[in-house]
Structure 1
Amino acid sequence: MFARLFGKKKESTAAEAQEPAVSREEDALENSTKAMAKIRDNMSSIQAKIDMTQKKVDADFEEAKRIRKDNPKDPRINKLLSNIKANRKQLENYSVSLLNQQDMLNTLDNAAFINEMVGIYEETKRALDLALSDSLKKMQDLIDIINERKEDVNEIMSMLTERNEEEDNQDLLDELDAEIAKEDKNKSEAAPLPSVPTTIPTAAPVAQPTANEMDDLDAQLAEL
């Protein structure tokens, strides 16, 4: 029984493992049923012998009692008493045989119950194995889908993270921009104005035209 319950698992497909197990269970059930039927027949036979022997004992006892009332010294009394003693001994033997048969029947009943429980265990185990296999397959399919979409998920999460950081820091960015603008304004206001010269530069001397230049000028005027 324990070997069937906790024996080493053989490497085989579910269909290959199921057929021998079912065949063994059917054979065990058939053999157990035949054995119990035979034992019940034996018990019925023994019980019939017990009933018949008990009737003989009762009849002989009543006969011995009747004879003893009439004649206590009648030799038939001892004969009847011997028969009663022998039959009572036979009744004891029959009772022991009947108890032995009952024990065997109880053992087979227990074995049948155990076989039934083993069958239920094996059926349950097969169902659990199938359910586990199906669950693992579905889980693996889900993992494959997640792995296929992992990059998209990471990209979306990255975008959401960057957007949240920018939104969370917007107040500080505004504060930085205001401070920069303020500093630029202060620098612009603090810059010195260009200096005005205090002396007026003297004009350069005007060159006088030469004699040739004057002759040329007179010639041009004459043409006009």
Structure 2
Amino acid sequence: MRLRNKPGATEELLQHPTIVIQNAETRKGKWHEIFGNNHPIHIEVGTGKGQFLTGMSELHPTINYIGVEKYDSVIISALERIQESGRQNFKLLNEDVNNLTSYFLTGEIDRVYINFTDPWPKNRHEKRRLTHEGFLKMYEEVLKKNGEIHFKTDNQALFEYSLHSFSKYGMILNNVSLDLHNSDIEGNIMTEYEEKFSRKGMRIYRCEAQFR
């Protein structure tokens, strides 16, 4: 999918350094200082326009959230959401998830969210899937012991692949749902894509995977 370029997005992001954190490599191990408290830190990789984390930050004010999104023309919408909400427990990183261990110290993060990521269906692109073993190793490094990944997708093939990837890695699977919106899971905050797909009657898949 081609992303529309938003003129001035890069410059606008730079004008809000207390929300869009710059020089991320220098912040490694200092995220509690940035938030000004010792609350748990949850990150979303590929945060998109920020609807999910905006909702989560409002629902859970004693948790700190960081959205990681490399496309400035997308993350600018997340910045606007934070400004409108006035939330202080939600920050943004305009960075590539491939470099996650450069931004966070070992055990600095409490939870990772992966929502409606690109399924990369071709076999030759397997390593690009955010639930591939290579990414799992990276998440495990930045997460606390027994940390969790919460994963949602509309793509059945990616969900099946991810369940296998989590299991092969030795993770514990919890709250696996093959139809999230017809399940008893409470407190679900929808992403933009989730709202779009659910209106079309599409099934949403969800699971929690915990490192041992």
TM over 0.5: no
TM-score, normalising length from structure 2? 0.17
- Structure showing greater radius of gyration is 1
